[in-house]
Amino acid sequence: MPEETTIYQDALLAGLRLDNHCSDLYIKACPEAFALVRKHGVKTATTFVSLVDGEVWIDVPFAYDPFWKNRGKKQ
């Protein structure tokens, strides 16, 4: 059975604008981004207006995969 992709992997493959803070994944709000949130069943996602660029982003808590991979290497 094929391994399921994470929301981070799907957003990266879709070419969406991404950012992060620690383990939180930020995805630039757009119809494709909201579709990924629904596809992955994320109930804790919120939106915010960035103080940096003034645009709306989706905050997906604990979904930034590189944070967890790097954290595992340190232990």
In a domain, 2, yes or no: no
Burial of 65 (0-12, 13-18, 19+ CB in 10 A): middle
As for how many domains the chain has, the answer is 1
For residue 40, the enclosing domain spans: 7-74
Asked if 28 and 59 touch (Cβ cutoff 8 Å), the reply is: no
Asked if 17 and 26 touch (Cβ cutoff 8 Å), the reply is: no
In a domain, 1, yes or no: no
In a domain, 48, yes or no: yes
pTM for the predicted model, two decimal places = 0.89
Return per-residue pLDDT of the chain as tens, 75 residues: 567 999 999 999 999 999 999 999 999 999 999 999 999 999 999 999 999 999 999 999 999 999 998 877 655
